[in-house]
Amino acid sequence: MSKKVVLAYSGGLDTTVIIPWLKENYDCEVIAVCVDVGQGKEMEGLEERALSTGASKLYIENVTDEFVDEYVVPTMQAGAVYEGKYLLGTSMARPVIAKRLVEIALQEEAMAICHGATGKGNDQVRFELTVKALAPQLEIIAPWRIWDLKSREDEIQYCEDRGIEVPMKKDDSYSRDRNLWHLSHEGLELEDPANEPDYKKILQMGVTPEEAPDTPTYVELEFEKGFPVKLDGQAMKASAIIEKLNAVGGANGVGIIDIVENRVVGMKSRGVYETPGGTILYAAHQELEYLCLDKQTMAVKNQLAVKFAELVYSGEWFTPLREALTAFMDSTQATVTGKVRLKLYKGNVIPAGATSPYSLYDEDIASFTTGELYDHKDAEGFINLFGLPLKVRAMKMQQQGKQ
């Protein structure tokens, strides 16, 4: 193999520093790869920036639809939410990014893959587990674990010492990760959980609930076997649906969370996440499942959703367990077909009706009006049997109390 290193490149501060650092310390050719999962304007000017800092070439690989169809939607169908809040935006993107890095590294006959994740973060785990699962022969270079730079301020100084333009201002050095699904913010005042986030300074995908319109906005989503296929009656691919939901959700202050989460490496971290479209999509899908899934299936699915979220968060996408869980989740989606209407108002996502040809809701049974399918008298025998263990226990305790 030639002495080439494939770098996961974003054009941000970390990877701007890493290109000259790799050339100085490894005497290698650096091939920058930016995998587009819906970063939007962040893609502008990347080639000039990468080449000007020493990369021999830049690949820009658009995998947005693959990201949405094969990672985002299956995770949404699973109902996976990490620690009750986080909709896994960064977590889901890392395996598809790393997969493309591996493919290019093999194509270029590179010796290693390099990433800019820190030694304290989750992304190092997610990138490296994917590389190990798909191409164990490749070396992995993680500069944050071995270089002398200790902070983002050190990185900025490193660039200035070499006449490299710094891709951010010193007073706005939030660590951010953007893709079609979400935008995360970490660092600065957010590192102290006692501080209220300065949302007017932080938010980029939408507004706060206070700034949202005083009138509600309605949206209608249609699913086929758990897959989103229409928005407001218009057929479109899932990535387009998410893009439009991001706009309408952001305008209504939807999908903003502030979380102190447990990282894979054992520490807690604090971040603010914007996931307007994803929040709406999760809510709509869940409303449809309420109609279409039986009690036992929903109960087990909810339990497995927690494990699914943990696997995705920890970078264990390419594992037998994740694949097995996805197979189970797929089977539950066979009847999750129908329409869901939602009302968006001041940061809230409020159900406004759902229909499905596979709905298990039967008005004749559920209605307070006596119908042919349900005899109220049957409830007495059911309660007697259902409560028998409680009755026997109480009787035994009474007998023991008399002795």
* Spans of all domains in the chain: 4-174, 182-293+336-355, 371-402
Mean of per-residue pLDDT scores for the chain: 94
Respond yes or no: is residue 362 known to be catalytic.
Answer: no
Considering the domain delimited by 182-293+336-355, tell me its CATH architecture. Answer: Alpha-Beta Complex (3.90)
Q: What pLDDT does 165 receive?
A: 85
> Binding residue per annotation — 199?
no
Examine the pLDDT at 182 and tell me if it is beyond 50. yes
What is the pLDDT at residue 174?
78
Active site residue 65: no
Which amino acid makes up residue 320?
Answer: P
pLDDT level of residue 166 (50, 70, 90 thresholds): confident
Strand order across the 227-231 sheet: 234-235, 227-231, 217-224, 338-345, 348-355
Can you name the residues that pair with 260 across neighbouring β-strands? 270
Q: Is 270 assigned a ligand-binding role in the annotation?
A: no
Confidence of residue 2 (pLDDT cuts 50, 70, 90): low
Q: Which of 36, 49, 100, 123 is catalytic?
A: 123
Cβ(255)–Cβ(279) under 8 Å? yes
Question: Span 66-89, mean pLDDT?
Answer: 98
- Give yes or no for residue 103 having a pLDDT over 90: yes
Q: Are strands 57-62 and 29-36 parallel, antiparallel or unpaired?
A: parallel
For domain 4-174, give the fold.
Answer: Rossmann fold (3.40.50)
Please give the pLDDT value at position 261.
Answer: 98
In the residue annotation, 175 being an active-site residue is answered as yes
User: Is 14 marked active-site?
Assistant: yes
The answer on whether 331 is annotated among ligand-binding residues is: no
Share above pLDDT 70 across residues of the chain, in percent, rounded to a whole number: 96
Confidence check: pLDDT of 372 > 80 = no
According to DSSP H, which parts of 142-214 are helical? 152-161, 199-202
pLDDT at 292 over 70: yes
Q: Is the pLDDT reported for residue 254 higher than 80?
A: yes
**89 belongs to an annotated ligand binding site:** no
As a whole number, mean pLDDT of residues 17-32 equals 96
Of residues 380 and 167, more confidence is placed in 380
| Angle formed at CA 332 by CA 354 and CA 338, multiple of 5 degrees | 25
Annotation-wise, does 91 bind a ligand? Answer: yes
Confidence bin at 171 (pLDDT 50/70/90)? low
- Comparing 296 with 39, the larger pLDDT belongs to 296
CB 349 within 8 A of CB 254: yes
Q: What is the per-residue pLDDT for 200?
A: 92
What are 188's two structure tokens?
A: 């600065």
Mean pLDDT of 328-351: 98
Residue 401: its pLDDT value, please?
84
- pLDDT reading at 1 higher than 50: no
User: Is 13 within any annotated ligand binding site?
Assistant: yes
- What amino acid occupies position 379? A
Q: pLDDT confidence of 252, banded at 50, 70, 90?
A: very high
Q: Is 273 annotated as a binding residue?
A: yes
pLDDT at 357 over 60: yes
Is 218 one of the annotated binding-site residues?
no
Token pair 């699913």: residue: 223
Longest CA–CA span in the chain (Å) reads: 91
Where does the pLDDT of residue 168 fall: very low under 50, low under 70, confident under 90, or very high at 90 and above? low
Q: Please check if 16 is assigned to a binding site.
A: yes
* Residue 14 marked ligand-binding: yes
Averaged over 326-340, what is the pLDDT? 98
Distance CA 169, CA 155 (A): 12
What gap in Å lies between CA 249 and CA 82, rounded to an integer?
A: 21
Q: Which residue is catalytic, options 152, 175, 177, 178?
A: 175
Q: Give pLDDT tens digits for 212-221.
A: 999 999 999 9
Host H or E run for residue 132: helix 123-134
Q: What is the pLDDT of residue 392?
A: 95
Q: Is 149 exposed, middle or buried (0-12, 13-18, 19+ CB in 10 A)?
A: middle
Relative to beta strand 175-178, strand 256-262 is unpaired
pLDDT tier for residue 167 given thresholds of 50, 70 and 90: confident
Predicted TM-score (pTM) of the model is 0.93
